Structure 1
Amino acid sequence: MWFIIGLITGALLSGLVWLMKRDNCSLTWYEWLLGIIGLALVIFTIQNFFGSLDELESKAASIFLLVVGLPGLILLAVSWQLAVRRIKKA
């Protein structure tokens, strides 16, 4: 399962870099930082969610989704919005 998640993540990041080069746009360092931290939190959440479910701790899995997964998604959304607004302004 983790091999497939790694392949999907790598393909998505390669696609992002390819699209950025094709459209001649770039991200600032803080947009990259927010995106990487958000992605790491989301992957960490997925791993712990399935680990908690395997141990039959469904309440812990749900709380982990809320406590760690939601901030990860928010960081990804903020990174995306910063990039979109900066590109539209230029």
Structure 2
Amino acid sequence: MYEVMWDTRGFNDKDLWPVDSSQPFVWSTGDTNGYSQHGDYVFGWEGDSLQRSMDARCNGDTCSVLKTQSNEEAMKCNVPKVVDDDIDGFVG
């Protein structure tokens, strides 16, 4: 399973949103609905964990052969920025 969570609490203030209440978030593909995000295979599986999950036919977030973590623990993961892109603000 590949899951992505975005912390959007920084945008809870309606004064930050466009005056016409339109959706201000847009994927780099131009998709405003959020359907274009996807995950490709990444060589991040430790040891034989990928094979074990396939053998156990893991589906969704219930897989007894893999170690899981809470959302709170996952949010503690922080990877330093490697590309200096302007990522703040709205795309207009």
How high is the TM-score relative to the length of structure 1? 0.23
How high is the TM-score relative to the length of structure 2? 0.23
Which structure would you say has the larger RCO, counting Cα contacts within 8 Å and 6 or more residues apart?
1
Which structure shows the higher helix fraction? 1
